[in-house]
Structure 1
């Protein structure tokens, strides 16, 4: 579990570094160069522009549609993650018994606990790191989508001084700027919390810490990033909440570990 949390934090840090490693001050257009711009950023920018043109120049709706399309694209991975979470939840009573049986803190006992735990995972076909794969897939998409938003002149005219266009407004905010009322960042944080709460399989202190830490990080990012990216995050979270509800039911996030008495050492 600690490895998974460390991986998530590492990927978030990597995303922040990568957002500054590319030419984010250069507009994206048909004259793009390089693999990153040609195969990641430009297709997303082109798709947003095409959809917006079909919807009366509404880039807010275009971002929502592209977000849903991206979520559908990675849906098989997310379903696998959700089912893995449900499987982990199902074996929690057996894992609790192992923790009680091997509760001593000496190295030999803890190694035996790890061996028995891995054997339990293999018996039930559970991969505790299955949830990391969707994160690995999502991060390049999120970074590319960030670049597509910030480098598309129709959304962010500041990236191309020669491009003349009115600021793209959606609801109460400008897509190329941070939400001035901080409503969208708060909604992004709240939906992140709800999604993680639904996915939490046990009252693990590390998972509980992440359940509160991640929404705070998302709020901080969304408060300074373009509102279009925060909109993407909100729609993606809502998609995940609905997906989790229908795949696993409303009780996936409830702690089902049995309450037991004292542990015995071995």
Structure 2
């Protein structure tokens, strides 16, 4: 698929490549927010959650919700699953918007191919005509990045709600201590594996070396983060990735987007 995005300076990037780089950038932001706050995991676990302000209130709501579900169902591992599903359903409209954007770009594929051939020797004119085409059909090539932007503050808030929640710190699920690192590395490996599979369900073409690199780089980073932080976060990633894999299957199986895009 020739999903094009015009950037300042007239440069054109594929929407897919832009989304992949955005995902990596946001993951790096998440890692930075963890390791550059000056607070270790142990310090956070010994500190009471500050519920002042909008952010503190949001983190507190997530923490209280996990407490309520955990006490009701008798398992904080299941509580993380329930809250993960709730979060994913909240972000589902943005994912649907992303799918519609991909379908819209697919419909414009023939016209975009003609423009590329017509202005193959004039990059600036190609950029201008491509953006006119987007505007004519009311297509936003950056819409695919919105779900990533929405999920990042939720992920950071979820992480903090886990770190500050005394009940989760003391809870266990199966043979995992949710407040501690997983010494067996089962959860980090599962988190990395499901991240890889989730990436594959969204991978349109493996011809691009950068796309190939990101396909393995993202799971590697998830493996490192999950192995470094308490098991509860790795469990969240496993749940979230499984949800994404199922979601992608049902959302894209009948659209033909992947098949057409690979051409």
* TM-score category, normalised to shorter length: 0.7 to 0.9
Taking structure 2 as the reference length, the TM-score comes to 0.79
In the alignment, is residue 16 of structure 1 matched against residue 31 of structure 2?
yes
Pick the aligned partner of 1:199 from 195, 198, 202: 202
Coordinate RMSD, CA, aligned: 2.6
Q: For the residues of structure 1 that align with 2:225 and 2:119, how far apart are their CA atoms?
A: 42
Q: Distance in 2 between matches of 1:39 and 1:256?
A: 42
1:231/1:82 CA distance change after superposition, 3 Å: farther
| CA 1:90–1:222: 2 relative to 1, 3 Å | farther
Report the counterpart of residue 53 of structure 1 in structure 2: 71
* Deviation by residue 1:221-250 (Cα, 9 ceiling, x = unmatched): 112121111111111112122222222216
**Whole-angstrom CA distance in 1 between matches of 2:178 and 2:143:** 34
Structure number with bigger Rg = 1
Q: Quick one: structure 1 residues 128 and 44, their matched pair in 2 at CA, closer, same or farther if it must change by over 3 Å?
A: same
Q: Tell me how far 1:40 sits from its aligned partner.
A: 1.8
Alignment of 1:71-150 (within 5 A): 71-104=88-121, 109-150=122-163
Partner of 1:65: 82
Distance (whole Å) between structure 2 residues aligned to residue 89 and residue 45 of structure 1:
41
Partner of 2:242: 238
User: How far, CA to CA, are the matches of 1:215 and 1:80 in structure 2?
Assistant: 25
Where does the alignment leave 5 or more consecutive residues of structure 1 unmatched?
157-166, 259-266
Worse overlay, 17-26 or 109-118: 17-26
2:182 pairs with 1:179 = yes
1:40 aligns with 2:55: no
Q: Does the CA contact (< 8 Å) of 2:51 and 2:57 recur in 1?
A: no
| Per-residue deviation, residues 104-124 of structure 1 (Å, max 9, x unmatched) | 4xxxx1112222322333344
Gap runs ≥5 in structure 2: 1-13
Report the alpha carbon displacement of residue 48 of structure 1 after superposing the two structures with TM.
0.6
Separation (CA, whole Å) in 2 of partners of 1:203 and 1:94: 24
Which structure has more helix as a fraction of its residues? 2
Tell me if structure 2 keeps the 8 A contact 1:47–1:66.
Answer: yes
Conserved? CA contact 1:195–1:240, under 8 Å? yes
Contact kept? 2:62, 2:158, Cα under 8 Å: yes
Check whether the contact 1:84–1:127 (CA below 8 A) recurs between aligned residues.
Answer: yes
The alignment covers a number of residue pairs equal to 242
